[in-house]
Structure 1
Amino acid sequence: MAHPPAHSQRLSRPVRCAVITVSDTRTVESDRSGQIIQTLLNQAGHRVHDYRIVPDEPSQIGPLCQTLAQEAEVDGIILTGGTGIAPRDTTYDAIAALLEKTLPGFGELFRQLSFQEIGSRAMASRAVAGVLGSTLIFSLPGSSNAVTLAMEALILPELPHLVSQLRG
């Protein structure tokens, strides 16, 4: 299936992102998904403004996202981890409570693409995206395959366009 051409990329500078890995066990050395996000952003010409690993605690995830969204140097926040349904998976709940506008198409498309790769297990993903103030937020699963899929197929092709709409 052919993809339509991307919207004109009106943003004349790299998109500045914060990358947050939500995990009770990962370290900088073992955080493959966080590393993939940073590498793909850099390869696309964008900038990683901040990178952190935080425990899967809504009391830490939410306030950190609010703080980062208020920084003029942050256009987008990309989180990985905590989007499933296990008791410790609380990222979706923390992020959904913050979003002023949601991008339901992101989660729908991500689950559709995931279904093509992993089958019905894709229904358990609570990947979500939206806007807080003038900052984009994407919350992805912790799987490195899921992160690569979301970044390459959905986020990177539209990131400059979405930021230009918000910051226009």
Structure 2
Amino acid sequence: MSQSVAEHRRDAPGVLDIAVLTVSDTRTVETDTSGALIVSLSEAAGHRIADRAIVPDEPDRMTPLLEGWAASASDAVHAILVTGGTGISPRDRTYETVSGLLTRHLPGYGELFRMLSHAQIGPACMLSRAVGGLIGRVPILVMPGSRAAVELAMTRIILPELPHLVREARKS
């Protein structure tokens, strides 16, 4: 790791307030194992869950929720983590919805997720439309709905880098 990355990580906030969104037409709090995994891994890393929701894969349900969380960025929500709706079926509209809200794109997040995912599932990783970026000054990272995908994204990409990402997004 370079010295500047190490310095940035050192200066990053230690505890983040995270909003978690599961996009699913069928999941409930009791059956949302991927959302629950995001919560448990985030809390195990020392972060707090500011809010958690489950909404159907409908842009008009996702958009106001995500915009509200992003608008509360001053203190209530440091980052938004989303699971579900990243496939290519006609019902999967999370990618389009989130992409339309981004003020800054982080193409490296999706690229890195697919690269790491290839080792687990092979070329089927190209069907994943994991996407990340900023809505204003709030990072949002979207991962597929499977527990394996959530575990991969959270442990290998998101949790190691999220405090640094939040630090950079909040710079004046």
Same fold, judged at TM 0.5 (above): yes
Tell me, in whole angstroms, the C-alpha distance in 2 between the residues paired with 1:163 and 1:12. Answer: 8
Where do 4+ consecutive residues of structure 1 move more than 6 Å?
Answer: none
Q: What is the RMSD computed on CA atoms of the aligned residues?
A: 1.1
CA contact (8 A) 1:83 1:125 kept: yes
- The residue number in structure 1 matching 2:151 is 148
SS in 1 for 2:101: coil
* Residue deviations 1:21-78 (CA, integer Å, cap 9, x gap): 0000000000000000000100001111000000110111112101110012101100
SS in 1 for 2:110: helix
Deviation at 1:13, TM superposition (A): 4.0
- The residue number in structure 2 matching 1:96 is 99
Tell me, in whole angstroms, the C-alpha distance in 2 between the residues paired with 1:40 and 1:77. Answer: 14
Q: Quick one: which amino acid aligns to residue 30 of structure 1? A: T
* Residue deviations 1:2-30 (CA, integer Å, cap 9, x gap): xx376333134411110000000000000
- The residue number in structure 1 matching 2:38 is 37
How many residue pairs align between the two structures?
Answer: 165
Structure 1 unaligned regions, length at least 5: none
Q: Which has the higher helix share?
A: 2
Tell me, in whole angstroms, the C-alpha distance in 1 between the residues paired with 2:13 and 2:116. Answer: 30
Indicate yes or no: 2:89 matched with 1:86.
Answer: yes
SS in 2 for 1:19: strand
- The residue number in structure 2 matching 1:138 is 141
Indicate yes or no: 2:135 matched with 1:128.
Answer: no
Percent identical pairs in the alignment equals 50
**Where does 1:43-122 land on structure 2 (aligned, <5 Å)?**
43-71=44-72, 72=74, 73-122=76-125
Tell me, in whole angstroms, the C-alpha distance in 2 between the residues paired with 1:49 and 1:134. Answer: 17
- The residue number in structure 1 matching 2:15 is 14
Tell me, in whole angstroms, the C-alpha distance in 1 between the residues paired with 2:13 and 2:128. Answer: 34
SS in 2 for 1:69: helix
